[in-house]
């Protein structure tokens, strides 16, 4: 028995944001944890709004987040499967042609709302006589198609929300095909889930009512019911949703702003659960934390301002192996020793470059006049090479008895002389990386 088959099914009509990443990560990591398959399914039946560049951006974002799909599917290449399904449903009387225009439907809805009724489709087209149909057809009206719900209470045991029961009599029969022949997600998604043998449908709670209708479609098409998990949606602190237009929270812009993929993953998965939102060292560790029962039933309030701290903490704990390739791209050398020396001071990985320059490239002196003599004295006390890991302590032990300085007065000028920075990683770790020749010249106030 192989692991679960899951899918992330975005429409390539825009960039994905951190709220979409929540769905993608919950799917991908659930599959990873249980040795399953993660499918990226591009819901691109809306040909007018779907764009190749958004499909590419979504793939790039998933790769960057560390969850490249095991399989990629597109609905646009599966039209004949939807035709087959429609024919099958038609043969058993589970779809029917409808002739209302958008305006007529809108007027109906308004009338119902005006009378205090829910705007549920009244099945007027289903009740139409053959003659009326023929009349519409002769006028050139093309039908659109609805799935005829079997009015009953549909129940499922949701992995997040427990038992859910929805009476399909309270729902409109879902439109499955428009008059122009295009398909709607409602049926296409069920056909795909059957064909692709999807076992777990993990998606946002905004799809709960769709699930009742789709379970009815699964049954009508002879597919088994799937397991569902409807997670809460990320919202901003004030409760507003993260619309796709919220450009600054797109995965692309977060990447460009230097946020760490692992920090975004931790925020996306852990916010709105009973677990603490804290950094993780690997996606595998994050996958281990996934437990649908720990996802809250209320909204998942997410403050974008928290990402900076999460990115910093992620870097502070990052192993050298996990950043080695990216440091190479930044042209940062120094190996693991350098990384361990500076990681605790980074807010963004790119800052490692500045510290690499501090230890490896010539820099102008910033020693204050009042500290020149002290720095020169300290220079004469620099131990001879070879330097061990203890060099900083040995040097200080030599300086202290003769310098007549302590605390900040002692350390700050040395920091300025050696790094030309007010703050930074511990000098204990930096000094061996700077090396004796460069340290000596810098202490003498030379550009080195």
- The residues, any chain, with a CB within 8 Å of residue 336's CB and separated by 6 or more, are 320
With beta carbons less than 8 A apart as the criterion, state whether 280 and 259 touch: no
User: In the 8-state DSSP scheme, what is residue 37?
Assistant: E
Sign for the CA dihedral angle at 224, 22, 343, 357 comes to positive
Q: How far apart are CA 229 and CA 227, in angstroms?
A: 7
Q: Is 27 a binder of ligand GLU (CB under 6 A)?
A: no
Q: Is 185 a binder of ligand GLU (CB under 6 A)?
A: yes
Long-range contact list for 1-4, CB < 8 A, 24+ apart? 2/35, 2/36, 2/37, 3/31, 3/34, 3/35, 3/36, 3/37, 4/30, 4/31, 4/34, 4/36, 4/37, 4/199, 4/200
How buried is 317 (Cβ within 10 angstroms: 0-12 exposed, 13-18 middle, 19+ buried)? middle
At 234 the three-state DSSP class reads strand
Q: Which is nearer to ligand GLU, 228 or 355 (CB)?
A: 228
CB of 214 to ligand GLU, least distance (A): 8
With beta carbons less than 8 A apart as the criterion, state whether 202 and 175 touch: no
Q: Determine the interface stretch with ligand GLU among 7-15, 48-56, 117-125, 370-378 (rule: CB under 6 A).
A: 7-15
Q: Is 69 a binder of ligand GLU (CB under 6 A)?
A: no
Q: Is 78 a binder of ligand GLU (CB under 6 A)?
A: no
Residues in contact with ligand GLU, shown as a per-residue x/- string from 134 to 173 under the rule CB under 6 A: ----------------------------------------
CB of 11 to ligand GLU, least distance (A): 5
Q: Which is nearer to ligand GLU, 269 or 433 (CB)?
A: 269
Q: Which is nearer to ligand GLU, 100 or 193 (CB)?
A: 193
CB of 422 to ligand GLU, least distance (A): 48
Q: In what order do the strands lie in the sheet with 37-42?
A: 71-74, 37-42, 5-8, 200-204, 227-231
- The residues, any chain, with a CB within 8 Å of residue 417's CB and separated by 6 or more, are 365, 366, 367, 371, 375, 378, 442, 443, 445
Q: Is 356 a binder of ligand GLU (CB under 6 A)?
A: no
Q: Is 203 a binder of ligand GLU (CB under 6 A)?
A: yes
Q: Which is nearer to ligand GLU, 17 or 405 (CB)?
A: 17
Q: Is 43 a binder of ligand GLU (CB under 6 A)?
A: yes
Sign for the CA dihedral angle at 250, 252, 255, 261 comes to positive
Q: Is 32 a binder of ligand GLU (CB under 6 A)?
A: no
CA 356 to chain centre: 30
Out of 59, 178, 207, 289, the only residue in the binding site for ligand GLU (CB under 6 A) is 207
Q: In what order do the strands lie in the sheet with 95-98?
A: 95-98, 144-147, 175-177
- The residues, any chain, with a CB within 8 Å of residue 77's CB and separated by 6 or more, are none
Q: Which is nearer to ligand GLU, 6 or 382 (CB)?
A: 6
Q: Is 10 a binder of ligand GLU (CB under 6 A)?
A: yes
Closest of 212, 211, 204 to residue 241, by C-alpha: 204
User: In the 8-state DSSP scheme, what is residue 173?
Assistant: P
CB of 20 to ligand GLU, least distance (A): 8
Q: What six digits make up the tokens of 115?
A: 């009378």
CB of 44 to ligand GLU, least distance (A): 9
Sign for the CA dihedral angle at 411, 413, 419, 420 comes to positive
Out of 6, 11, 26, 391, the only residue in the binding site for ligand GLU (CB under 6 A) is 11
Peptide bond into 386 cis (omega under 30): yes
Q: Is 419 a binder of ligand GLU (CB under 6 A)?
A: no
Q: Determine the interface stretch with ligand GLU among 6-14, 130-138, 234-242, 360-368 (rule: CB under 6 A).
A: 6-14
Out of 4, 5, 6, 9, the only residue in the binding site for ligand GLU (CB under 6 A) is 9
Q: Please report, as residue ranges, which positions from 208 to 247 form the binding site for ligand GLU (by CB under 6 A).
A: none
Q: Which is nearer to ligand GLU, 125 or 211 (CB)?
A: 211
Out of 189, 235, 271, 314, the only residue in the binding site for ligand GLU (CB under 6 A) is 189
How many of the chain's residues bind ligand GLU (CB under 6 A)? 8
Q: Determine the interface stretch with ligand GLU among 5-13, 140-148, 265-273, 292-300 (rule: CB under 6 A).
A: 5-13
Q: Which is nearer to ligand GLU, 46 or 308 (CB)?
A: 46
Q: Which is nearer to ligand GLU, 189 or 199 (CB)?
A: 189
Q: Determine the interface stretch with ligand GLU among 8-16, 265-273, 327-335, 376-384 (rule: CB under 6 A).
A: 8-16
* Binding-site ranges for ligand GLU (CB under 6 A): 9-11, 43, 185, 189, 203, 207
């Amino acid at each position: 028995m192989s692991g679960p088959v899951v899918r992330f099914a975005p429409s390539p009509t825009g960039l994905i944001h951190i709220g979409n990443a929540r769905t993608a990560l919950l799917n991908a990591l659930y599959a990873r944890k249980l040795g399953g398959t993660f499918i990226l399914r591009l819901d691109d039946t809306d040909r007018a709004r779907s764009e190749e560049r958004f499909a590419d951006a979504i793939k790039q974002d998933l790769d960057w987040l560390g969850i490249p799909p095991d399989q990629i599917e597109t609905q646009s290449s599966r039209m004949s499967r939807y035709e087959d399904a429609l024919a099958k449903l038609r043969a058993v009387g589970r779809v029917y042609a409808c002739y209302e225009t958008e305006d007529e439907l809108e007027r109906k809805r308004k009338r119902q709302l005006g009378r205090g009724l829910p705007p549920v489709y009244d099945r007027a087209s289903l009740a139409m006589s053959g003659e009326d149909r023929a009349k519409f057809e002769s006028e050139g009206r093309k039908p659109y198609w609805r799935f005829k719900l079997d009015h009953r209470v549909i129940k499922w045991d949701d992995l997040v929300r427990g038992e859910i029961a929805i009476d399909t009599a309270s729902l409109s029969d879902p439109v499955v095909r428009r008059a122009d022949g295009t398909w709607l997600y409602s049926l296409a998604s069920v056909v795909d889930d059957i064909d692709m043998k999807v076992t777990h449908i993990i998606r946002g709670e905004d799809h709960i009512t769709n699930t009742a209708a789709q379970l009815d479609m699964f049954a009508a098409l002879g597919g088994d019911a799937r397991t569902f998990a409807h997670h809460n949606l990320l919202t901003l602190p004030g409760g507003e949703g993260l619309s796709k237009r919220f450009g600054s929270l797109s995965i692309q812009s977060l990447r460009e702003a230097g946020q760490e993929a692992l920090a975004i993953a931790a925020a996306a998965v852990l916010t709105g659960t009973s677990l603490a939102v804290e950094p993780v060292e690997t996606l595998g560790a994050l996958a281990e934390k996934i437990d649908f029962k720990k996802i809250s039933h209320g909204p998942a309030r997410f403050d974008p301002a928290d990402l900076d701290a999460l990115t910093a903490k992620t870097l502070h704990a990052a192993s050298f192996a996990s950043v080695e390739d990216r440091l190479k791209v930044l042209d940062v050398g120094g190996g693991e020793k350098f990384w361990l020396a500076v990681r605790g001071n980074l807010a963004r990985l790119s800052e490692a470059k500045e510290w690499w320059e501090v230890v490896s490239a010539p820099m102008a002196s910033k020693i204050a006049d009042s500290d020149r003599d002290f720095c020169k004295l300290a220079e004469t006390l620099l131990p001879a090479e070879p330097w061990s890991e203890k060099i900083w302590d040995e040097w200080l032990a030599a300086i202290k008895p003769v310098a007549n300085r302590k605390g900040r007065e002692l350390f700050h000028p040395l920091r300025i002389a050696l790094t030309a920075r007010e703050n930074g990683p511990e000098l204990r770790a930096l000094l061996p990386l700077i090396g004796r020749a460069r340290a000596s010249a810098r202490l003498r106030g030379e550009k080195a």
